[in-house]
Amino acid sequence: MNLEDLKRIRRDLHQIPELGFQEYKTQQYLLDKISTYPQEHLTIKTWKTGILVLVKGKNATRTIGFRADIDGLPITEQTGYGFKSKHVGKMHACGHDFHMTIALGALEDLATSPLEDNALFLFQPAEEGPGGALPMLQSEEFIKWKPDCIFALHIAPELSVGDVSTRAGLLFANTSELFIDFKGKGGHAAYPHLTKDMVVAASNFVTQLQQIVSRRIDPLESAVVTIGKVTGGFVQNVIAEEARLEGTIRTLNPMVIDEVKHHIEMLAKGTEFSHDCSISIDYGSNYYQVYNSEEYVEKFKKVVMEQDVNWIEARAAMTGEDFGYILNDIPGFMFWLGVDSPYGLHHSKLQANEDALHVGVNLVKETLRGI
């Protein structure tokens, strides 16, 4: 598939971002494209809003998997693109339009010229939330075609087109969403003694929360607890009866995330007592760390060295990715693909360089052949 065709597909997909397990238009678009490829070697199954495509090898002794995530984010696009999102308040701000396009480009070529081994293409929903990898991994459809090894890519705005980066071992962190609701008693601002002010309770909680990492977690371990959203009250002269904190927990050790949660729960019990209120905690989506197989990273590096691309050794990051659940069960790896954008992931102005599409397709094809 040439670059112009790849660009057209990417722009089509960019205009129809959908949230996790709501990717109906996206799924249909992908199925329509796949139906135009030679079908002799293809078997196609759907799972929820996702798709699995098995390309039968010429003399298969194993199956090699490639995963592309397909959902968008609840972000209002501000790129100024002529092909911007048609879905108000939704955007492919994490590059999943790129991931899908690259998968389609590689799949089309393999449908015409299959490998010796089987290739399994996973178009996975709900990576951004609530998490599609784990239930897809456990599905009957996936289990039947379970690959012997698997890999995935993620665009990297900070890297140039032609740059490829990964590492053996830990690449991405363990992550958990964090939602905390406070319930007290509202009332007139002039009579605070008759109320239980949840803005004060939530504010104190946020301040004390910062001490969990600094005073409760081994300083040789890495952990982040961030509150990104605080809501409470409705008007300036009414004391808030309810408040809500929304944030995230990230650690490089799966045991530490449990320890952080334990201390959050202990802090909540103390706050309930001291502020005479009730607190509920919801951890939302939890993602397991992305841990790359040393064996397959070395095989991948050999493939990269034979291509016209630049290898960069990656550092571990606090980024979260539900592909970690798949790598916890199947050996493989994830790598960064440079797209040279002045704006980062999850930014409303993310503008990935489309020249990276052709780089990605070639790299996926050669990796499927070479690992």
Q: Which of 23, 127, 128, 197 is catalytic?
A: 128
- Collapsing DSSP to helix, strand or coil, 185 comes out as strand
Residue 117 appears among annotated catalytic residues: no
Beta-carbon count within 10 A of 326 CB: 26
Across-strand partners of 335?
153
Q: Which of 23, 69, 197, 241 is catalytic?
A: 69
List of long-range contacts for 87-94, beta carbons under 8 Å, 24+ apart: 87/15, 87/16, 87/17, 87/18, 90/17, 90/18, 90/19, 91/17, 91/348, 92/13, 92/14, 92/17, 93/345, 93/346, 93/347, 93/348, 93/350, 94/128, 94/155, 94/345, 94/346, 94/350
Residue 366 appears among annotated catalytic residues: no
What is the C-alpha separation between 227 and 295, in angstroms, rounded? Answer: 38
DSSP secondary structure, 47-103, as one string: ETTEEEEEE--SS-SSEEEEEEE---BS----S--TT--SSTT-B--SSHHHHHHHH
Across-strand partners of 347?
none
Catalytic site positions:
69, 128
